Amino acid sequence: MVLPPGMVVFWFEFRSSQAVVQEIFRTLLLRPQARALRLGDRLLWLACCTSRGRAPAAVCPAEQRKANEAPPQRREDLFLQSKFTFGQGQDHRLPYDPEAPVAAQVEQSFASSLEHLGTGVIDSYLLHGPSQRAGLAPADWEAWRAMEAIHQSGRARLLGVSNFTLEQLRLLCEKARVRPHFVQNRCHAALGWDRRVREFCAANGLVYQGFSLLTANREALARPELARVARRHGRTVAQVVFRFALEVGMVVLTGTTDAGHMREDLDVFDFRLDPGEAERIEALAG
């Protein structure tokens, strides 16, 4: 399954309890849109996990069988994404030997993701962030080369990066043998919702995944302009932000753990922002 722009994506992490993950699947599978997922249509459910995440995909089939509401989920209906994270971004649950060379760490981390997800192939594998704030260090290149090898072996269909600046993205794209397909960044309204990185992605055929659209933008979300747009469409401010993100071409990640919010976050495909509204939101704080 590919992951084109124009999708709302739910994201599981280790911190999500099994009960929450089960609720997520139940909520989705009982919705009409869940059919679209199984048909591979544009309303998609994405199961994500970090390198240290547990396997939502492994929870899902048993839960579905119990609910007996929907046919078992097929692997090809799920988009699985995981990441390699350098030591400084990890806690004690390291999925690799920190004394090993970076390339071996990537291999070990990737193997751990495959095991947790119960799969032999991951759809997208991301470098969680560069090892330093500016530029790319030898460790970043070693990690990327190891990821390229994993891609070339057929175990990761697509590669991507996260928390990259425009400069770092340019450097990587210039010298990568396998260019990143995804850029997953925190989306700050104050930076025009990461406009420069998004523009680079659009110009170079990369797909931008936006995260923390709500949590990174509390001030912008409190602006009267957003409340007015939300009122005009009979939606919540969160829905307007997600709709805006879809309309400017992002894959939208939401970190909700609440079934009501999940429904709300998915209900953004049946309205459009009026001409000018998206532009005003884009210029809100940038």
| Of the candidate residues 6, 61, 249, 255, the single one contacting ligand NAP (CB under 6 A) | 255
Residues in contact with ligand NAP, total (CB under 6 A)?
22
Q: How far is the CB of 13 from ligand NAP (least distance, A)?
A: 5
Q: Lay out the site mask for ligand NAP across 195-234 (x = CB under 6 A, - = otherwise).
A: ----------------xxxxx-------------------
Q: How far is the CB of 262 from ligand NAP (least distance, A)?
A: 8
Beta carbons of 64 and 104 less than 8 angstroms apart: no
Would you state the structure tokens that stand for residue 30, as one six-digit string? 């009982």
Window of 22-30, 95-103, 149-157, 248-256 that interacts with ligand NAP by CB under 6 A:
248-256
Q: How far is the CB of 87 from ligand NAP (least distance, A)?
A: 15
Output the CA–CA distances (angstroms, integers) from residue 53 to 8, 20, 221, 281, in the order listed: 20, 14, 30, 34
Q: How far is the CB of 9 from ligand NAP (least distance, A)?
A: 8
- Footprint of ligand NAP on residues 8-37 (CB under 6 A)? 11, 13
Q: Is 184 in the site for ligand NAP (CB under 6 A)?
A: yes
In which region does residue 68 sit, left (phi positive, over 0), alpha (psi from -120 to 50) or beta (all else)? left
> In the complex with ligand NAP, which residue's Cβ is closer, 152 or 286?
286
**b/e string for 263-285 if b means 16 or more Cβ within 10 A?**
ebbbbbbeeebeeebbebbbebe
> In the complex with ligand NAP, which residue's Cβ is closer, 108 or 236?
236
List beta partners, residue 9.
253
- Footprint of ligand NAP on residues 111-150 (CB under 6 A)? 128
Please give the distance of CA 121 from its chain centroid, rounded to a whole number.
17
- Is residue 104 within a helix (H) or strand (E), and if so which, with residue range? helix 102-117
Q: Is 3 in the site for ligand NAP (CB under 6 A)?
A: no
| Of the candidate residues 254, 273, 277, 281, the single one contacting ligand NAP (CB under 6 A) | 254
Q: What angle, 0 to 180 degrees and rounded to 10, lies between the N-to-C axes of helices 18-29 and 56-67?
A: 60
Q: Is 261 in the site for ligand NAP (CB under 6 A)?
A: yes
How far apart, in whole angstroms, are the C-alpha atoms of residue 43 and residue 128?
Answer: 26
Q: Is 162 in the site for ligand NAP (CB under 6 A)?
A: yes
Would you state the structure tokens that stand for residue 53, as one six-digit string? 């995440």
> In the complex with ligand NAP, which residue's Cβ is closer, 246 or 253?
253
Q: Which residues bind ligand NAP (CB under 6 A)?
A: 11, 13, 128, 162-163, 184, 211-215, 236, 238, 253-258, 261, 264-265
